[in-house]
A and B are shown apart, each in its own frame.
Chain A
Amino acid sequence: MNVRSQVAMVFHLDKCIGCHTCSVACKNIWTDRKGAEYMWWNNVETKPGTGYPTRWEDQEDYQGGWEVVGGKLRLKSTSKSKIVFNIFHNPHMPSMDDYYQPWTYDYETLFNAPEGEDQPVARPISKVTGELVQIESGPNWDDDLGGSQVYADNDPNLEGLSEEQRAQLSSVERLVMFYLPRICNHCLNPSCVASCPSGAMYKRGEDGIVLVDQNRCRAWRSCVSACPYKKVYYNWFAGKAEKCILCYPRLETGQAPACFHSCVGRIRYLGVLLYDADRIEEVALKPDSELAEAHRSLILDPHDPLVAAAARANGIDEAVIESARKSPVYKFVKEWGLALPPHVEYRTFPMLFYVPPLSPVMSTRAGSEAISHGSPSLFHDIDESRIPVQYLANLFGAGEEDGVRYALRKQKAVRWWRRARTVGDVDEATALRMLDEADCTPEQAEAIYQLTTLCSFEERFVIPPMHREEAIAMVQDPREAQASMGFGFSTGTGRSI
């Protein structure tokens, strides 16, 4: 057992309102620079939809992630043998057209335009060339366009859905959509790191944050292709790969990452997970159907004395182990089984988990009764819900419905349990039966309710002490280091002297 610690995340999709506050917070801090305008380290996409970059989930096209070939794990896009031949042209890399061309407006015209018949107009100007452009797409271009024939109908996750289910997704008055906020998953088996020809990308040992060493990045762009989530971006001006850094400067000072901190719906949770690094390869070789469960099995119980001892032996600080015991992520992912990894079939083992959305609330009005549940099977409506379970399973279960159904049933049972307690129009016996059938106890239901709805800042973000000062102290006086740090590139971005 090789115990390592990882700062992991849970996004509760049932609470996401799609306000993009996270995206804006991130943009203002990190990607408001030349060459990075088009990047959204945090983006929120509408599902069903094509996402950002367009159809990023289509790995036939982008060739991201890993595949098992002859019992061995191999990168889909740039395996070692392929990199030699593809080094001069990256065949699967998205280009700017797959994102969008960033632009601003010619605001000056509004003030300088000579007097005339018409109102002056601020025309769009490309942030790349500085010339006038015709805007063809932009950030969140498919925002809220569930049901659209251009966007929703081209969602790669619709694969395996029946014609009927597809039609239902876009039928009038039955339209459905939900939001999928995405950041770098800081995977356990990152394909971006594995693909980097220069060895510039790495995973931090202490917290598992995946970073790019900008001084070693040589602009080969393999990481952009290899990341199946398309969360490594190419800065076309600096010629460097850039990605979400999980706001590590904030984490190191005990603050939540900007997107987490600013989340209006309070959908985001952050905490430490302990995992067994020795088992990653073994788990990655499992067939698709077992992957989600196997992925979860990598996560170790921090309350287990054996695990804690192994963690200590591995140099993990006592405070970090203690933090892991309080981790909300551990509860959502492991204890409750509510949160699932996105597209686990890419075999990178994302450390960002999603609680699948239960919405829209499934209730019917029959006479004076607000809610009717005419079926003897209390969960029948989960299978008849507007978002087909198969669709969610394609997103969060490598196509296997069991995990998604389990999470949805439990969420619904908790809702009914609380309804029985507070509103009282559901009788407690039924609610208890539902809890029982959903593999949940009243205590657990209360805990889920608590952490879902009434959670405080400190409950949502259990940030472990990062001990950065100790690391700095090994080479330099920490106070000196503090005084010498600043923003931006220390050496300029030129490609020549």
Chain B
Amino acid sequence: MFDDLLFSVLPYVVMFTFFLVTIQRYRQKSFSYSSLSSQFLSNERHFWSLVPFHYGILLVLAGHIVAFLFPRELLAFNSKPVRLYILEVAALTGGLMTLIGLTAAAWRRWTTPQIRTVTNVSDWIVYALLFFQVGGGVMVAVAHPWGSSWFATSISPYLWSLVSLSPDMATIAPLPWSVKLHIVNAYLLIGFFPFTRLVHVLVVPNPYLWRRPQIVRWARRRRAA
């Protein structure tokens, strides 16, 4: 019953919240749609915490998404042990980078008075959730190796069952508690996402790469171009 609530109901609740609030916030409070960079207040330790964290989490997230989207292809890729080893090492490296970066970032934030003054409760909630998620993820990676393969066989079918609106927990039922905790915490992160600074993930500057260098805005329509 409780499992049903966590794995069949919670995902829909958080996704609903995610989309509703994300869109509503973008439309009504576009001003707040970013992270609050603290590099200006203290340049020290910024590089060695934020850079490994971001690259690490991008790598790990990409891994999760690929396993979710292409489980068959991933299993086929992993059929050669060498490839599996490479993937495993890359994933663990990414996870450790994220964990180290996150720890350093939190420590920097806590120990720099200037940065602490621009930190609010939601920031600490984000840190706690991320810490739980990343730390737990690394633990799972160490305790239950070959995650890229068992993710594809057990979690991908479950996630796809959610997508098709017929939640089926059969494939994740036998998974260890640490993995389940990782899943539930992920849902919490998604649910909190639109209320926090995490929204900056959604405003990656993609048009920058192909826009013209200069931008001119006209107040009035011009009579001739």
Interface residues of A (CB under 8 A from B): 80, 83-84, 87-91, 93-97, 126, 128-131, 189-190, 193-194, 196-199, 201-206, 214-221, 224, 234, 236-237, 239-240, 313-315, 467-468, 470-471, 474, 489, 491-497
Contact = CB atoms under 8 A, between A and B. Distances in A.
Interface string B210-225: 0101111111111110
Given A128-B117, A219-B35, A495-B120, A83 B224 contact: no
A234 B53 CA distance: 23
Contact of B215 (A131, A203, A491): A203
A95 B115 CA distance: 13
A313 B217 contact: no
B190 to A, nearest CB: 15
A35 B30 CA distance: 19
B32 A496 contact: yes
Given A80-B209, A84-B209, A497-B195, 8 more contacts: A204-B219, A205-B222, A218-B33, A218-B200, A234-B40, A467-B220, A468-B219, A494-B32
A206 B218 contact: yes
Contact of A315 (B30, B46, B205, B223): B223
A2 to B, nearest CB: 10
Nearest to B43: A95
Contacts of A206: 218-220
Interface in B192-211: 194-197, 200, 203, 205, 207-209, 211
A239 B209 contact: no
A220 B205 contact: yes
Contacts of B218: 204-206
Nearest to A98: B43
Given A206-B219, A491-B29, A496-B197, A197 B208 contact: yes
B215 A90 contact: no
B34 A217 contact: yes
A206 B41 CA distance: 36
B118 interface: yes
B36 A239 contact: yes
B108 interface: no
B169 to A, nearest CB: 32
B2 interface: no
Contacts, number: 166
Nearest to B217: A202
B113 A131 contact: yes
B171 interface: no
B41 A204 contact: no
A471 B224 CA distance: 16
Q: Secondary structure of the A side of the interface?
A: loop
Nearest to A78: B208
A459 to B, nearest CB: 27
Nearest to A313: B224
Contact of A219 (B34, B50, B208, B222): B34
B39 interface: yes
Interface residues of B, number: 56
Contacts of A234: 37, 40
Contacts of A194: 213-214
Contact of B114 (A96, A218, A224): A96
A283 to B, nearest CB: 14
Given A80-B208, A205-B222, A239 B195 contact: no
A221 B37 contact: yes
18 contacts: A83-B208, A88-B50, A89-B46, A129-B114, A129-B116, A198-B203, A202-B215, A203-B214, A206-B219, A206-B220, A219-B36, A237-B118, A240-B31, A470-B220, A474-B220, A474-B221, A495-B32, A496-B122
Contacts of A91: 47
**8 interchain residue pairs of minimum CB distance:** A197-B205, A471-B219, A205-B218, A315-B222, A194-B213, A496-B122, A218-B34, A239-B36
B41 A236 contact: yes
A16 to B, nearest CB: 30
B79 interface: no
A495 B35 contact: yes
Nearest to B194: A497
B113 to A, nearest CB: 4
Nearest to A211: B217
B216 A203 contact: yes
Contact of B224 (A90, A240, A315, A492): A315
Contacts of B194: 497
B64 interface: no
Given A93-B40, A203-B214, A198 B205 contact: yes
Nearest to B195: A497
A88 B41 contact: no
B140 to A, nearest CB: 25
Given A194-B213, A495-B36, A496-B122, A199 B207 contact: yes
B219 A89 contact: no
Nearest to B215: A202
A249 to B, nearest CB: 13
Contacts of B21: 497
B182 to A, nearest CB: 24
B54 interface: yes
Nearest to B213: A194
